[in-house]
Structure 1
Amino acid sequence: MNQSTEIEVKNLDHLGLVARIIDEIGIVEIINEQVSIERGEIVTAGQVVKAIILNGLGFVSQTLYLFPQFFEDKATEHLLGEGIEPKQLNDDNWTSPLTKSHNLCCRRD
């Protein structure tokens, strides 16, 4: 018997290379070490920054509320991390991580 397997293909384009460089530098981990991750947080501050970089280098530069549309045809789990789906890249899930990242960068010791 022939069993058919359904395969879903998603784009990486040049963003796969950029994501790999971000991973090698460790930007996500550096930011996450400096910013506390709250229980129940779906997208970390480091992943938010990575998504912003990928969007900026995607030759589209969508505003934050349109990010789910930008990542809709992209392999988000491969680019941003396991379990991350385009629908999670919305402004509701980004408010806290972005605020924490901003406060970290603008902090005066």
Structure 2
Amino acid sequence: MSDIQSFKAEQKYETFSYLPQMTDEQIRQQIQYLIDQGWNPAIEHSEPENAFGSYWYMWKLPMFGEQSVDTVLAEVEACKKENPGHLVRLIGYDNYAQCQGTSMLVHKG
């Protein structure tokens, strides 16, 4: 239980932020899961002070039908490089349910 973080120790943004920071391999596995579910990856970013608002900036359009984890990771890296200091999150849009299947913070500016 020592790996579990206190809510007051650090600001929490998404579901996985209550767990220890994901490694690059764990992020890769989450992206693979998102793709395996048939969800469409999308990337958003926001300034840390505006992260709790309902509006984040969309990085390009969602990657409809994308099957490559490396392509998604390349776009995450491009977003991080273009927006230093921003939080970056990855979203998986579920076409069937017409909602987000998953959303996770992949970079804390």
TM-score range, shorter chain: under 0.3
TM-score (ref. length: structure 1): 0.27
The structure in which a higher percent of residues are strand is 2
The structure in which a higher percent of residues are helix is 1
